[in-house]
Amino acid sequence: MEETKSVTDGRHLRSLHTRHKLLEAAKEVFPEEGFHKATISQIIKRAKTGYGTAYVHFTGKDDLLIVLMEDVMTAFYSIAELPFTPASRAEAEELILYQTTAFLRMAESERKMLQVFGEAIGVSASASQKWAEIRERFINRIAQDIAYSQQNGLARTGLDPELVARGWFYSHEMYLWEIVRGEHQAQLDEIAKTLAAIYTGGLYS
């Protein structure tokens, strides 16, 4: 019903087009200027729409960015949701190293946009919340993986999987921000190796 309306209704179509123009403009302006320096005026100018239009389609600058982050989030989730059912300690270690590497590589490939998002997290409550979503999804998944390993006699028991998962994710997240800032490009695999070594050495000793 809504589908039909969306396709036929020329008004809605126009609206969608305007929205799209704004998003495209924002996608350019944000990385160029950074979150704080970017202004609605810059964005509407590039999108060739009126000032108020931006506020019709989005609640503000944060909202515009949040929508742009969806793409990045999708990529993140695909890593978080990788299957983890190792049969041996060696296989567990391999999977963990792979996941760690994938995570850090993503920091590199999505650098520009993550840089903007990192800046926004400090300022905008909604950006901060969006990032918290990504984080919790990762942590939940890691906690599951740890619990699985504990139940199958691969990992040391007696530690709360969620607390371990948090600490584990946090060290990754902070490395992510460093990579985004442009530090450590060359060492990426070395970092992954180190993080995985500490983690597995600790849990699987």
Partner DNA sequence: CAAAATATTGACACTATGTCAACTTTTCTG
Partner DNA sequence: CAGAAAAGTTGACATAGTGTCAATATTTTG
Residues that bind a second copy (CB under 8 A): 36, 118-123, 156, 159-160, 163-164, 166-168, 170-171, 173-175, 178, 187, 190-191, 194-195, 197-203, 205
The C-alpha atoms of residue 72 and residue 16 are separated, in whole angstroms, by: 21
In order, the DSSP letters of 178-203 are: HHHTTTTSTTHHHHHHHHHHHHHHHH
Q: Residue from 29, 40, 113, 196 that binds DNA (CB under 7 A)?
A: 40
Q: Residue from 1, 4, 10, 74 that binds DNA (CB under 7 A)?
A: 10
Q: Residue from 26, 29, 61, 113 that binds DNA (CB under 7 A)?
A: 61
The partner in contact with residue 121, picked from a second copy, DNA, none with C-beta cut-offs of 5 to 8 angstroms by kind, is a second copy
The partner in contact with residue 75, picked from DNA, a second copy, none with C-beta cut-offs of 5 to 8 angstroms by kind, is none
Angle at 115 between CA 109 and CA 118, to 5 degrees: 125
Amino acid identity, residue 112? K
> 203 vs 28, 82, 174, CA distance in Å?
44, 20, 21
Torsion angle of alpha carbons 166, 167, 168, 173, nearest 10°?
Answer: 80
The C-alpha atoms of residue 30 and residue 45 are separated, in whole angstroms, by: 13
Determine if 170 is a binding residue for DNA (CB under 7 A).
Answer: no
DSSP H or E segment with residue 43: helix 40-47
Determine if 1 is a binding residue for DNA (CB under 7 A).
Answer: no
The partner in contact with residue 201, picked from a second copy, DNA, none with C-beta cut-offs of 5 to 8 angstroms by kind, is a second copy
The partner in contact with residue 50, picked from a second copy, DNA, none with C-beta cut-offs of 5 to 8 angstroms by kind, is DNA
Q: Residue from 11, 87, 158, 205 that binds DNA (CB under 7 A)?
A: 11
The C-alpha atoms of residue 66 and residue 73 are separated, in whole angstroms, by: 10
What letter does residue 204 receive in the DSSP assignment?
T
- Considering beta carbons, is residue 62 or 110 the nearer one to DNA? 62
- Residues 109-148, mask of contacts with DNA (x by CB under 7 A): ----------------------------------------
The C-alpha atoms of residue 195 and residue 172 are separated, in whole angstroms, by: 8
DSSP H or E segment with residue 2: helix 2-8
In angstroms, give the least distance from the CB of 31 to DNA: 16
Interface residues with DNA (CB under 7 A)?
A: 8-15, 17-18, 37, 39-41, 49-53, 55-57, 60-61
